[in-house]
A and B are shown apart, each in its own frame.
Chain A
Amino acid sequence: MKIFNSLTKSLFLFSLLFTFGFNLKAQSADEGKTLFTANCTACHAINDKIVGPALKDVHKRREEAWLVKWIKNSQAMVKAGDPVAVQLYKENNESVMTSFENLSDVQVKSIIAYIKAESEAPAAAATAAVPGDNTKTKMNNESNESLVSSINWLLLIISILLITVISYVFSILNRIGKIQGKEVINWTSVNGFLLLAFLVIGLIATFWEFAVHSKLTVFADGPASVHGKEYDNMFMITLIITGVVFVITQILLFWYGFKYKNDGKRKALYYPDNHKIELLWTVVPAIVLTILVIRGLFVWNDMMYSKEENPRNVELFAYQFGWDARIAGADNKLGAYNFREVGKANALGVDPKDEKAKDDIIVKELHLEVNKPYHFSFRSKDVIHSAYFPHFRAQMNVVPGLPTQFSFTPSVTTAEMRTKTGKPNFDYALLCNKICGSAHYRMKMVIIVDTKADYEKWLKSQKTLAQSTPVVSENTVALK
């Protein structure tokens, strides 16, 4: 994490340097940076091996033409028997690298230019220039971490020592027992007291956990969507009911274990059944569960059948290992697509000749307007993914060949959430929550919720499908 953080920070810094400070050969590397963050960071970093190898000095290891070919379709090279390609494939445990045939040669070269610039940049300068505040918090975090970490290990050592001492004591007691010819340790009463101790310590630990760790959950940040309030209410009701049952039943269980342990003086009560009590504890849970079910059904239907009129249409396209978002243009209609064209004219296989598609906007970082209803439709290129938006209390699987959808209205802007949570770097994330392959854990998209004004400003800066790249118009002919 630290590495990744400082990496993104240094990337940010470099982009700043390039744009404002020294305008070197910036243009190409600058475009390369955007493309690199959008397409490569799920699996690669400059200095570290992530899922794929570290890319530092890759321009020295391979020729540019080879790299372009590899990035566009590595499997074709492996199949063709290119010795370097085959070796690389084997070295990486036969993980298939995603093909980027939709990128033009110029674009791939700009990525390589960016990697080159990064490899040559002195690493020390980058870390030193990280803004002061962040360094401080980072250092605090680090010292905290190492502190907690040493406490963890201390606990382990103490518990091992304790266990050794206790087991030694027991083995001595056992020997004494053998000499005396009777049991010295009465395990039933020892266990009885241990059960009681476990109950007390366990309950204290549970309350402590709730006090400390519930602050880290998304429920502490509050919902960021309109339906989220209803969701959180439902959650709290369930939490209270189950919490009460949990505490009562665990207390009874461990208390009975302690109270009714065999003391050699009593005989157990022959008490095989009591229909009244049994009826009671069948009916009461049934009623409580009915209430939860009915309430749950209302929430579920509200979430599934959105009543908002004219929501804005957005398509989320998932692939190994990233997301593309396609926002419907002025007509609020998404253009047609064909899965056979995916990765050819454009990454999503959208038909550029469709009138509805021409004003569609494809982005790698999704901006949403606050308090505006959105209707998301999901599409997958390869395997099942799951689009999970924890702060918006929303999730839907992305299944190849099966259109799925989800609607919600974001209600808190990113800026508001940053102030509310006190985290200046907070961002909403869309993440993949269905196992999809090696870089599953890095498959993310940043979501920014803007005010109306900010959103419109951002929207203007984006290119529609028709304007975006000349590549599209070149390839339309080839599409036929």
Chain B
Amino acid sequence: MSDHNLHTNHDDHGHHEETFISKYIFSMDHKMIARQFLITGIIMGTLGMLMSMIFRLQLAYPDMKFPFLEGILGHWGKDGKLDPNFYLALITIHGTIMVFFVLTAGLSGTFSNLLIPLQLGARDMASPFMNMLSYWFFFASSCVLVFSLFVDGGPASAGWTVYPPLSALPKAIPGSGVGMTLWLVSMVLFIASALLGGINYIATILNMRTKGMKMTRMPLTIWAFFVTAVLGLLSFPVLLGGSLLLIFDRSFGTSFYLSEIVAELAGGIERTGGSPILFQHLFWFLGHPEVYIILLPALGITSEVIATNSRKPIFGYRAMIGSILAIGVLSFIVWGHHMFITGMNPFLGSVFMLGTLIIAVPSAVKTFNYLATLWQGNLNLTPAMMFAIGLVSFFISGGLTGIYLGNAALDINLHDTYFVVAHFHLVMGSAAIFGMMSGIYHWYPKLFGRMLNETAGHFHFWLTLISAYCVFFPMHFMGLAGVPRRYYANTAYDQFNVFIDMNEFITIAALLGGAAQLIFLINFFYSAVKGKRAPQNPWKSNTLEWTAPVEHLHGNWPGEIPHVYRWAYDYSKPGHDEDFIPQNVPDRDQMDPLDEPTSLPEPSLTKVHNASTAEVTH
């Protein structure tokens, strides 16, 4: 904790004139940067979702022509038929956008930026300038990716995992020309953004906590962001290395990933001696921690939202931190489960299988802790809370299918089928999106100083929940029938074509889900301007961000930064009138913030009845 941070107040930050550009565009204020990340993420997310609608239409109606496709896609939709190459481009860019631009930058970028300084009691990030750079690298990276949609040959089309040789040889698929180069450039910029952000988050969390904010008093959101940042810092450079080698292979004639390529594809040079599997190792060394980079912030948000709206302390706070750390460590030794059938040594497969199934234990602990937090709570079912409950439901549904896929033996017949598509869209896609939505509904008053419309929020939740289950649950059965993912149509196989009705059902459900997001978009942008003004602490929450004024101040708090006297989860504590005690409220006799608050009698089940029969006193 730096003293500088504790005792300077807002005025010391100077009275320099803020122009439009320095306030809204090249802003160094973490709250503005959080908004920038969020809005860019929402725009990219809308784009990614629209792409999924187009390829869902193709999958449901492989024989039908949609003249409007020619209107929006030009020569890729000639005569209303989606070109198979462009279908592959769409799934590639959909995956890239959703995994990196929405669920990494949009989720972690938004909430790490907003909450780390506010929940820890810091004036801003450790380096506001690097923070600004982080956003602008992200912005540049988004622009390059969107630009790549319009180049000759189309955008990258080798799947979001861009396995070489398909991604390395321009002759193998049209998208592996300029489009692929731009994809790699975009990824390099993205990694720079992620690293600049990550270093900042870690430095801020370690050094800039207010007095009394011990590591063991931090809200679980911050713990999740902390481990996420560490994971990103350790794994993104590996992808950077992998991408650079791929750039060399593509542009400078090296053969890191290429071996025994026939002359007609090799482009006039010898392409031997490399290994395509090397790229997969480098990619998944990031790729698997990436799953947790996406998921942990969503789980952190959920912990906070569930505790606040259950009016109960999160169950097993220390076990939750332990699970986050365990997941973080284990996530580095499981990447091989994406590669069981690449021809990897079967013994190595056994090791990865062991690691993968061990990681299920902390995940199970987290789920049970959420359930225990809900038990005997006093739930306020706000939109944020509903999305958090939805996340837990998806986390269970999608997590359990991970036990099939993590088992090397079972993976043999399920690998790369729709079973995998269903699995990760539930556990990583839907769950993380729900975590993000939960966060948006919960912290919207902090982000924009206004409230979102609640009724619209509930409609948004129910339609999204129903459509997500209708879209992804049936896909399990397609996977069990062996339908491979990334197929343009199932028409070539009798045994797969029986799913045409199911595909149609899924597409209709997806369109419904897309329409539901319109409710959200309208609500989001309308409320930012015209919403009801937010009170300071609308959810009666304990964490420090709700002690800051509603208006955004540069430096967050006018006057002194609040000190912290307790953990973040003193909800419904016996012996207090209110059902919440903010972190900055000292107990009787507690003089120094670093002292433990006055100890409580051990909770026991006999108290359950007393507590539940007691009237709420306020």
Binding site for B on A (CB under 8 A): 1-5, 49, 51, 73, 75, 93-96, 99, 145, 148-149, 152-153, 155-156, 159, 163, 167, 170-171, 174, 185, 187-188, 190-192, 194-195, 198, 202, 206, 209, 213-214, 216-219, 231, 234-235, 238, 241-242, 245-246, 249-250, 252-254, 256-257, 260-262, 264-274, 277-278, 281-282, 285-286, 289, 292-293, 296-297, 299-301, 303-305, 320, 339-340, 342-343, 381-384, 386, 388, 390-391, 393-397, 399-405, 423, 425-426, 429, 431-442, 444
Contact B490 A339, beta carbon cutoff 8 Å = no
Contact A400 B276, beta carbon cutoff 8 Å = yes
Q: How far is the CB of B403 from chain A (nearest CB, A)?
A: 6
- Report B449-471 CB contacts with A as 1/0, cut-off 8 Å: 00000110011001101100100
Q: Please tell me the number of chain B residues within 8 Å of chain A, measured between CB atoms.
A: 147
* Complex: chain A residue closest to B492, CB-CB: A442
Q: How far is the CB of A234 from chain B (nearest CB, A)?
A: 6
Q: Is B599 an interface residue (CB 8 A)?
A: no
B contact residues around A384 at 8 Å (CB):
163, 165-166, 276
Contact B319 A273, beta carbon cutoff 8 Å = yes
Q: Is B19 an interface residue (CB 8 A)?
A: no
A contact residues around B62 at 8 Å (CB):
1
Q: How far is the CB of B519 from chain A (nearest CB, A)?
A: 9
Contact B312 A270, beta carbon cutoff 8 Å = yes
Contact B386 A191, beta carbon cutoff 8 Å = yes
* A309→B106 CA distance, assembly (Å): 56
* A152→B501 CA distance, assembly (Å): 8
A contact residues around B497 at 8 Å (CB):
1
* A241→B400 CA distance, assembly (Å): 9
* A75→B480 CA distance, assembly (Å): 40
Q: How far is the CB of B459 from chain A (nearest CB, A)?
A: 6
Instruction: Report the 8 A-B pairs with minimum CB-CB distance, sorted nearest first.
Output: A401-B259, A390-B482, A404-B343, A304-B346, A217-B480, A299-B409, A191-B381, A269-B376
Given contacts A300-B408, A383-B165, contact A270 B573 (CB under 8 A): yes
* Complex: chain B residue closest to A42, CB-CB: B492
Q: Is B477 an interface residue (CB 8 A)?
A: yes
* A202→B490 CA distance, assembly (Å): 28
Q: Is B410 an interface residue (CB 8 A)?
A: yes
B contact residues around A436 at 8 Å (CB):
166, 172
- Select the stretch in B151-159, B428-436, B542-550 that faces chain A: B151-159
Q: How far is the CB of A346 from chain B (nearest CB, A)?
A: 13
Cβ-defined partner of B491 (8 Å) among A4, A192, A285, A305: A4
* A155→B393 CA distance, assembly (Å): 25
Q: How far is the CB of B81 from chain A (nearest CB, A)?
A: 7
Given contacts A238-B403, A262-B380, A271-B315, contact A401 B501 (CB under 8 A): no
* Complex: chain B residue closest to A296, CB-CB: B407
Q: Is B493 an interface residue (CB 8 A)?
A: yes
Contact B262 A342, beta carbon cutoff 8 Å = yes
* A170→B459 CA distance, assembly (Å): 10
Q: How far is the CB of A103 from chain B (nearest CB, A)?
A: 15
- Report B350-375 CB contacts with A as 1/0, cut-off 8 Å: 10011001101100110111111011
* A283→B615 CA distance, assembly (Å): 38
Contact B263 A340, beta carbon cutoff 8 Å = yes
Contact B415 A395, beta carbon cutoff 8 Å = yes
Contact A303 B412, beta carbon cutoff 8 Å = yes
Given contacts A342-B262, A441-B490, contact A159 B85 (CB under 8 A): no
* A289→B611 CA distance, assembly (Å): 38
Q: Is B171 an interface residue (CB 8 A)?
A: yes
- Select the stretch in B140-148, B213-221, B504-512 that faces chain A: B504-512
Q: How far is the CB of A259 from chain B (nearest CB, A)?
A: 9
A contact residues around B318 at 8 Å (CB):
273
Contact B416 A433, beta carbon cutoff 8 Å = yes
Q: How far is the CB of A478 from chain B (nearest CB, A)?
A: 15
Q: How far is the CB of B101 from chain A (nearest CB, A)?
A: 21
B contact residues around A192 at 8 Å (CB):
379, 381
* A444→B487 CA distance, assembly (Å): 12
A contact residues around B313 at 8 Å (CB):
270-272
Given contacts A194-B462, A293-B357, contact A444 B275 (CB under 8 A): no
Q: Is B514 an interface residue (CB 8 A)?
A: no
* A444→B492 CA distance, assembly (Å): 8
B contact residues around A174 at 8 Å (CB):
455
Q: How far is the CB of A457 from chain B (nearest CB, A)?
A: 26
* A105→B403 CA distance, assembly (Å): 54
Q: Is B536 an interface residue (CB 8 A)?
A: no
B contact residues around A163 at 8 Å (CB):
459, 463
Contact A217 B481, beta carbon cutoff 8 Å = yes
Contact A270 B172, beta carbon cutoff 8 Å = no
Q: Taking A209-B473, A270-B574 as given, write out 18 further A-B residue pairs in contact, using a Cβ cutoff of 8 Å, ordered by the A residue number.
A: A96-B171, A191-B386, A234-B407, A246-B400, A250-B396, A253-B393, A264-B616, A266-B616, A267-B311, A267-B612, A270-B611, A285-B364, A340-B263, A400-B259, A434-B416, A435-B486, A437-B85, A444-B493
